[in-house]
A and B are shown apart, each in its own frame.
Chain A
Amino acid sequence: MSTLSIDHVSRWFGNVVAVNDVTMTIGPGVTGLLGPNGAGKSTLINMMGGFLAPSTGTVTLDGQPVWRNEQIYKQIGIVPEREAMYDFLTGREFVVANAELHGLGAKAAARALATVEMEYAQDRKISTYSKGMRQRVKMASALVHDPSLLLLDEPFNGMDPRQRMQLMDLLKRMGAEGRTVLFSSHILEEVEQLASHIEVIVAGRHAASGDFRRIRRLMTDRPHRYLVRSSDDRTLAAALIADPSTAGIEVDLAEGALRIQAVDFGRFTALLPKVAREHGIRLLTVSPSDESLESVFSYLVAA
């Protein structure tokens, strides 16, 4: 059982702040590090893995510093996002080399390859592998020494649904065995399916933390913006603003549409068609105008 502690960690590159005063504790089980692209997830994972020094703050694993401490890798397994991995070797040679660097032998490598079900292609050159196969061999190399902490950077990127399911099952198993598993992703559904605990990072800041229900609720309860076109925009606006589920309406003359900010998502979605029917108004367009993940995340930061 291992606990990874990130204590007031910041990291900047020149004038750019990539990670801003993040404090979190990652314990046994599967934790998802969720955030949009460029949020600082990889920078944070690199600091957790000891490949980048925090500008301020500390990263420790069970009290031991991670940075400049080679011996810590006896406990850590890392699955990097980058593809490059000694393509001139076969899968087996690659995993055996990783085992040897841990002072282990071919037996440990065979066990790791069996865990990721890659025995059937272990004698093929890595250069001939598909993305999913590479990912599994990377997993095998990270598992070869039976680590208590597993760090995975965007492990599902580019995987097909079947490979995704397999990897999810494997990670769930690792978490259930009491390992501390942390993976990053920018896809909420991916994180929801797998992680019992979620840490949200947005623009380098620690935006939210908790189980997926709490994160999902935060995301659903936020104000929603809609772009609505109808046969009578002003009448519709007057009727909607009378209801407390609507916080503001702008008549966008250039677009010929209404921009509506709803504060009660459930109530507003029931109200809109009802009001339209009562006033004999035809709804031509109803589209959420800020459903991008980035806007959801920005809301979480402000929350």
Chain B
Amino acid sequence: MSPAPLLSVSDLRVGFATEEGVVQAVDGISFDLRPGEVVAIVGESGSGKSVTAQTIIGLTRANNARIEGSVKLEGEDLLSASDSDLRRLRGDRIGMIFQDPMTSFNPVYRIGDQIVEAIRAHRETSKSEGKRRVVELFEAVGIPNAERRVDDYPHEFSGGMRQRAMIAMALALEPEVLIADEPTTALDVTIQAQILGLLEQLNRERNLATILITHDLGVVAEVADRVLVMYAGKVVEEGTLDEIFYDPQHPYTWGLLGSLTRIDRPRPHRLPQIAGSPPSLLDLPDGCPFRPRCPHEFSKCPQYPGLEARLPEAADHRDRCWLTPEEKKAKRLVEGQIGLEPPPEVRQA
């Protein structure tokens, strides 16, 4: 019934050899991206979400990188693609935008020139033709005074405008997939909403399949179709937007949801936060990686939980928690809302 996946990631593992050992930044993530779909990958820093995104287009290739698994774009394996093949599809078939638009543009070149450069890397186009295209793109992403702005330097744009320009650049060659790596993190809250709105509009109008990377579940609520929650390099829960928001199965997800400030609920007593900090990837505990921060830890947790669908009616809703669905339903409510309490002693792995 659903169309064939555009992008198919299967058991992707990315490790980096460092002086202190191998850091397994990504430990087996799998997902499919269908045309027009928006998949969100959510997690704290160090969870492996950015590494996943960058590995898809080969930006993490390095001498000390160990990349395993498969990433297929319409059947073509990207992990084993040659550098020149990869270069060809970057920007053209997969566009990518990054977190900080200020530093993501070269400060010494005009923004228009940098976008034209992207176009001319893949198409035979004259500079003036390219510039015209840039003006069109600017208008499409909502940058006013497009004709003039094309000749401006990055620091002459405001943060929100810069991110729009980034998006324009990513769309210049009309790719089938857009990867957005924390596109709103560096922006003010009001601008965040605008950019998200833009991404949602582009997804709708152009059927643009999108992978959205973020640490903020609130961002995801606007746009995503499916959500993957990552922790310490592993996917700890995945499902549709509704499943994650209304029936979350993993304590970490509860913590993330609990830490969202919601205007439709009364204000909680304490500032909501997940106690403790993300673990060092060199020193992970046995079994479930979330154990040190989880108040619901019990005897089965030292056994590494697999990513399985534990709800019979939701075959695509998977999680990594040994608690039974009934226990989860009960334990996830803190003062009447979904949340996570700090564990008895806050422990760090």
The reply to whether chain A is a binding partner of chain B is no
Query: Which residues of chain B have a CB within 8 Å of any CB of chain A?
Result: none
Query: Which residues of chain A have a CB within 8 Å of any CB of chain B?
Result: none
